[in-house]
Copies of this chain bind each other. A is one copy, B any other.
Amino acid sequence: DFVRALEEVHPLFGVSEEDLDRCVEGGIIRFSPHVDKILKNGRLFVEQVRSGTTPLLSVLLHGPHGSGKTALAARIAMDSEFPFCRLVRPVDMVGMNEIQKIQHLQKAFTDAYKSPLNVLVLDNIELIVDWVPVGPRFSSAVLAAIKGLMDNKPPKGRPLLILATTSERTVMHQLQLVFKAQIAIPNVRTQQELAHIMQESGAFDPEGISRAIGDIESTTESRDIGVGVSQVLLGIQTAMQDPDRAGRFAEVMAETIADAHGTSV
């Protein structure tokens, strides 16, 4: 039934498009050459699937909390312009039992076997399997389902690119969840990178930028930044409530940097 098939694919596409769009609400700021490299690698994987050379390719985007994994995965997926694009998020499965979660995942993959070119984004895959380091706990049924589905060759002529994101790469190893390729997403690391983002935000003048960065350096007693682009953008938003934006931003960032180090102790 061709008409129904179309109906099935279209809304999927639409819904997903919007969802993916929201993942990059903060845009993609090219604050370092790494960002370009990541997007280029993403394009190459897209080509490998589009050309049919590799009919099933799974890629893991891994990096620290807030480093931009979801935004970048969404960007790569949208830029592929594959007719089938689907985002699978933990929140979509809240309140489902294990069986329902597995059916939700199965449906995502089955849908992805219907269109001539397909991309699935599995966001925060460690949460999709309900990973908690205390215990540790996880859903072994959902994990088994993902392993099975990620290993299952799609029908001929229906190549599938899987983009998964995680901030728990070593957990993937422990759970023996294997990907064919990997992309590392780094934190904002240098003062230059931070300055780049501040400038792009349009919230600071050059003087404010250099003052804030100076303040951060003296408070943290270090030139290393080491926080995700997402935390930087939140810091800017918080600073914008304050008449002294640069000062407030430096304050908030210094706290975030300290916290990032502290919590990793």
- A241 adjacent to B148 (CB under 8 Å): no
Closest to A171 in B: B134
How many identical chains are in the complex?
Answer: 6
Which residues of B lie under 8 Å from residue A53 when comparing CB positions? 237, 240-241
Shortest A131–chain B CB gap in Å is 8
Contact of A89 among B89, B95, B148 (CB under 8 A): B148
Interface size class of A (residues with CB under 8 A): 35 or more
- A103 adjacent to B99 (CB under 8 Å): no
Is there a chain B Cβ closer than 8 Å to A127's Cβ? yes
- A94 adjacent to B54 (CB under 8 Å): no
If A95-B103, A134-B174 touch, does A90 touch B140 (CB 8 Å cutoff)? no
- B65 adjacent to A148 (CB under 8 Å): no
If A90-B148, A234-B54, A237-B53 touch, does A132 touch B127 (CB 8 Å cutoff)? no
Is there a chain B Cβ closer than 8 Å to A151's Cβ? yes
Is there a chain B Cβ closer than 8 Å to A238's Cβ? yes
Is there a chain B Cβ closer than 8 Å to A250's Cβ? no
- A91 adjacent to B174 (CB under 8 Å): no
- A143 adjacent to B148 (CB under 8 Å): no
- B106 adjacent to A149 (CB under 8 Å): no
Q: How far is the CA of A130 from the CA of B143 in the complex (A)?
A: 9
Is there a chain B Cβ closer than 8 Å to A243's Cβ? no
Q: How far is the CA of A178 from the CA of B134 in the complex (A)?
A: 15
Is there a chain B Cβ closer than 8 Å to A22's Cβ? yes
Is there a chain B Cβ closer than 8 Å to A152's Cβ? yes
Which residues of B lie under 8 Å from residue A222 when comparing CB positions? none
Is there a chain B Cβ closer than 8 Å to A147's Cβ? yes
Q: How far is the CA of A61 from the CA of B134 in the complex (A)?
A: 22
Closest to A150 in B: B91
12 A-B pairs with CB atoms under 8 Å apart are: A22-B153, A25-B153, A44-B242, A48-B237, A65-B178, A90-B144, A94-B148, A95-B145, A132-B143, A132-B176, A137-B140, A182-B259
